[in-house]
Copies of this chain bind each other. A is one copy, B any other.
Amino acid sequence: MTFKITGIPQSVCTLRVLEVLAEKGVTDFELYKPNMAAKEHKTKAHTDKQPFGVIPILEDDGFTLYESRAICRYLAIKYGSQGTPLVPVQDDNKGWALFEQFASVEATHFDAFANLICMQKVFNPMKGFPTDQGVLEFAIDGLIGKLAIFDVILGKQAYMGGENFSLIDIFYMPLTSLLFKAGNGDLIENLPNVNAWWQKVSTRESWQKVTQA
């Protein structure tokens, strides 16, 4: 039995999952696209599976999972033996510890700010809500400070999770791409090592494929 992903390819969080599947060469799954305009993701049928009323959701033979990073991890391990290796091998405790370190860096030092920027400049206008200029300025200032440190880290390692492309890079990619659409791509381009990383990961065949679908 193949599995089902509920989500839309334009969504930051769904894109994370689709990029994992593209790197793994997995194509035999169902992508169910809920009617977001009709607020299908706010119906009881949806929130029974995803209480926050967002996407994506994974359903695999009776097992339901939400939160894109958790779904990405699950799929990276489920398809561990094929495509690009995206996580450390199972019993590499120190490898996993560093993976978790950089996973936490993404959530704490990047997503927390980049998400606020995209919320104010992309999602709010899309939903007809006003942009909160104060929150936007706070988030841009915060992200600038953090990205300067990312540039130091990426001066010492080739990818966000270490020397190899991994799930950690995929965690960053959709929101980094959206920063460009939000008109804040200069935050990435102004930093030589961050920009070099973005050029490397965003030109991957998998990413070209999922973002042009």
Contact surface of A with B, Cβ cutoff 8 Å: 51-52, 63, 65-70, 73-74, 77-78, 90-91, 93-94, 96-98, 100-101, 103-105, 107-109, 111-112, 115, 132, 134-135, 138, 146, 149, 152-153
Contact = CB atoms under 8 A, between A and B. Distances in A.
25 contacts: A52-B105, A52-B109, A52-B146, A52-B149, A65-B97, A66-B101, A67-B101, A67-B108, A68-B104, A69-B100, A69-B104, A70-B97, A70-B100, A70-B104, A74-B100, A78-B93, A90-B90, A90-B91, A104-B107, A107-B107, A108-B111, A111-B112, A112-B112, A132-B134, A134-B135
A94 B52 contact: no
Contacts of A105: 52, 67
Contact of A101 (B70, B138, B149): B70
- Copies per complex of this chain: 2
Among A66, A78, A97, residue most surrounded by chain B Cβ atoms (within 10 Å): A97
Nearest to A139: B135
A92 to B, nearest CB: 11
